Structure 1
Amino acid sequence: MAGYAVGHLHEVTPGPAIVEYLERIEATLEPYGGRYVIHGAKADVREGDWSGDLIVIEFPDLDKARAWYDSPAYREIIPLRADHSRGAILLIDGTGDDHRATDVLA
């Protein structure tokens, strides 16, 4: 099943470091089969409060997501993002095609 890297970023300070991060991240994703599913689109908030940007990158599985995050190529560019934004980064499993809401009750 797919694995995901999810970022919820706040207070991104645009500038040369963020531009460089965006220019370099694609090359770090390719060896691990990563692809953007959501990348900073404006949310249509229907309930609750929301701020910031949401980024979701899909990988073939969670092991590939972990390998990408821990790769020397990605670790090298993390400070370009982390030093110029605030937020949370998660690595998380997706669900199978047969998942039902009640599966979490088991």
Structure 2
Amino acid sequence: MKTKRSLLLAVLAGTSIGALPAMSLYAQAASAAKPPAFYISEFELTDAEGIRPYSAAVESTFAPFGGRYVVRGGKVTSLEGEPTKRIVMIAFPSMEQAQAWYDSPKYREIMPIRHRSAKSRVFIVEGVAK
């Protein structure tokens, strides 16, 4: 009886001790995961023709930084306050990648087109890590 009990305790202890490194690695990986970031632009077009070159080129500037459209225009329903005219949201893997895109020479080259063709408010917002 004592042998079975000792064997059971040894198996439980070994399993617990073996699980500790795995749990530690999982915790390290989870804490190393960076939260996503979102570029959000609220804007009102002032020159629909003038924005066309920007619209045609902008995706090619953010895709290399891991960016992808989440919202690109579409219907806006205001639940509280004045509705914005148009919203664009681009998801990035991290704040660093979103900022690197925004500061990139390719994006800076086309940014003046947006400034001339729209009134806008632009943000980069950190999301929630998975």
Is the pair's TM-score, using the shorter chain for normalization, greater than 0.5?
yes
Q: Tell me the distance in 2 between the aligned counterparts of 1:70 and 1:86.
A: 20
TM-score normalized with structure 2 length? 0.69
Once the two structures are superposed, residues 22-69 of structure 1 have per-residue CA deviations (whole angstroms, 9 ceiling, x without a partner) of 111111011101000011111122332213101100000000000000
Q: Which runs of structure 2 are paired with 1:63-82 in the superposition (5 Å)?
A: 63-82=96-115
Q: Tell me the distance in 2 between the aligned counterparts of 1:51 and 1:5.
A: 16
**Aligned equivalent of 2:72:** 39
TM-score normalized with structure 1 length? 0.84
Q: Which sections of structure 1, spanning at least 5 residues, go unmatched?
A: 98-106
Q: Tell me the distance in 1 between the aligned counterparts of 2:128 and 2:46.
A: 30
Q: Tell me the distance in 2 between the aligned counterparts of 1:93 and 1:51.
A: 21
Work out which structure has the larger RCO, using CA pairs closer than 8 Å and 6 or more positions apart in sequence.
1
Q: Which sections of structure 2, spanning at least 5 residues, go unmatched?
A: 1-34
**Aligned equivalent of 1:104:** none
- Code of the aligned partner of 1:70: D
**Aligned equivalent of 2:52:** 19
Query: Is 2:80 the counterpart of 1:50?
Result: no
**CA 1:39 to 1:12, structure 2 compared with 1: closer, same or farther past 3 Å?**
farther
**Is residue 71–residue 90 contact of structure 2 (8 Å, CA) maintained in 1?**
yes
- Code of the aligned partner of 1:26: E
Q: Tell me the distance in 2 between the aligned counterparts of 1:12 and 1:56.
A: 20
Specify the SS of the correspondent of 1:83.
helix
Structure number with larger C-alpha Rg: 2
Root mean square deviation of aligned Cα: 1.2
Runs of 4+ in 1 over 3 A off after TM superposition: none
